[in-house]
Amino acid sequence: MSGFSRTVNEMRTVLLNPGPVNVSARVREALNGPDLCHREPEYFDLQDAIRSRLLQVFDAPADEYTSIVLTGSGTAMVEAMIGSGVSANGRLLVVQNGVYGERIAAMARLHLIPHDVIECGWTEHPSLDAIASRLRDGRYEALAMVHHETTTGLMNDLPAVASLCQRDGVRVLVDAVSALGGEPFSFRDWQPDAVACTANKCVQGLPGLSFAIVRRDFARAMTGFPERSLYLHLPRHHSEQERRSTPFTPAVQIGYALRAALDELAEETVAGRIARYGRASAIVREGLVALGFNLLLPPSLRSTTMTAVRLPREMSYGDLHDALRREGFVIYAGQGPLAATLFRVATMGDVAEGDYRRFVRVLGMSVARA
């Protein structure tokens, strides 16, 4: 191997994609825990620790909320939440303003759950009046929405929508896969019924495990809902986890890493992490604007953890990606109809401010060449 390629290969790649993220040495080293049978008490100690730490770090009161871990990516938990969270006669309202909202509607369709979709443009908030008037129909048992639409980096107004739902007695199911840990979230104030998330975005664990934080009364109610999937039936996982069991083989080592990541998050605190991600996105956004890029969203709609950038006409995403990759940075393409016109920069994970500054410099050199 030539000296040059060795240097490139050994250089730490900075992941600016929205998960999986760069993790700390402590989280990676946790993978080296002992081989373990998942039917032995040591595994259930690990599972119990993860479940209770989730409630602690996210400040979900343990008398009101419970947590459930699932082996599978974030989509698995969102699908488990949607597929398990509507009763036999229930109807779901899906709020859709991006790829992940579309995915929730697709899940409802595939699980044969009666549902309607409220759609709006991908760079705006859905109208609260429109949602309120749908909810007043009295036809809906639950509403599902994405908290942070990773498609565009747009923060939906979950607190306002949740309070409309509570007024009308409609349950709130949230895809917070790219939000929890990186964006403000209040279980106490917003009282969501179920919130799905993953280990490997703002929680800074490794891919392979997802989790949900669910109201205890909702977890109980779900046991009476139709079983629409064998593996993704949440009450099965919950009731087994409650009695120190697990229905299937879990990702044990990824669990070690998740426990370490939750310890790390508890030490940093969620507020501290949000502030750190905020400094990172400020560096990236100021740098991009100074280089002449246009950001997709106005500041009032932007999340902390994702920046969607308009791709200048003279630049191809592939060339830009490859030039940055050679310098050790991975950016992310736009999705769906935005694939040709956007690129995205996530500011999640164990990445130093200096890395974001170097990214801006390297991007500047690519712009100068283009």
Ligand X SMILES: *Cc1c(COP(=O)(O)O)cnc(C)c1O
Binding residues for ligand X, rule: CB under 6 A, are: 18-19, 73-75, 78, 100, 146, 150, 175, 177-178, 198
For ligand X, the closer of residues 199 and 363 by Cβ is: 199
Nearest to 226 by CA among 39, 85, 71, 45: 85
For ligand X, the closer of residues 74 and 235 by Cβ is: 74
For ligand X, the closer of residues 339 and 365 by Cβ is: 339
Q: In the complex, what is the shortest distance from the CB of residue 167 to ligand X, in angstroms, rounded to a whole number?
A: 26
For ligand X, the closer of residues 162 and 323 by Cβ is: 162
For ligand X, the closer of residues 73 and 97 by Cβ is: 73
3-state DSSP of 287-322: HHHHCCCCECCCHHHECCCEEEEECCCCCCHHHHHH
Reported in sequence order, the residue ranges of the chain that DSSP labels E, i.e. its strands, are 14-15, 65-71, 92-96, 115-119, 142-146, 148-149, 154-155, 171-175, 194-198, 209-215, 306-310, 329-330, 332-333, 342-346
**Could you tell me if 142 and 193 are in contact, meaning their C-beta atoms sit under 8 angstroms apart?**
yes
Q: In the complex, what is the shortest distance from the CB of residue 47 to ligand X, in angstroms, rounded to a whole number?
A: 20
Q: In the complex, what is the shortest distance from the CB of residue 42 to ligand X, in angstroms, rounded to a whole number?
A: 27
For ligand X, the closer of residues 74 and 181 by Cβ is: 74
Q: Which residue's beta carbon is nearest to the bound ligand X?
A: 74
Q: In the complex, what is the shortest distance from the CB of residue 176 to ligand X, in angstroms, rounded to a whole number?
A: 8
Nearest-angstrom CA–CA distance, 345 and 214: 30
**295: phi > 0 → left, psi -120 to 50 → alpha, else beta; which?**
beta
Q: In the complex, what is the shortest distance from the CB of residue 62 to ligand X, in angstroms, rounded to a whole number?
A: 26
Using the Cα atoms of residue 180, residue 152, residue 28 and residue 212 in order, give the sign of their dihedral.
positive
For ligand X, the closer of residues 323 and 347 by Cβ is: 347
Q: Provide CB contacts within 8 A for 351, sequence distance 6+.
A: 14, 15, 21, 22, 280
Nearest to 203 by CA among 265, 280, 274: 265
Q: In the complex, what is the shortest distance from the CB of residue 93 to ligand X, in angstroms, rounded to a whole number?
A: 18
Q: In the complex, what is the shortest distance from the CB of residue 16 to ligand X, in angstroms, rounded to a whole number?
A: 14
* Amino acid symbol at 211: F
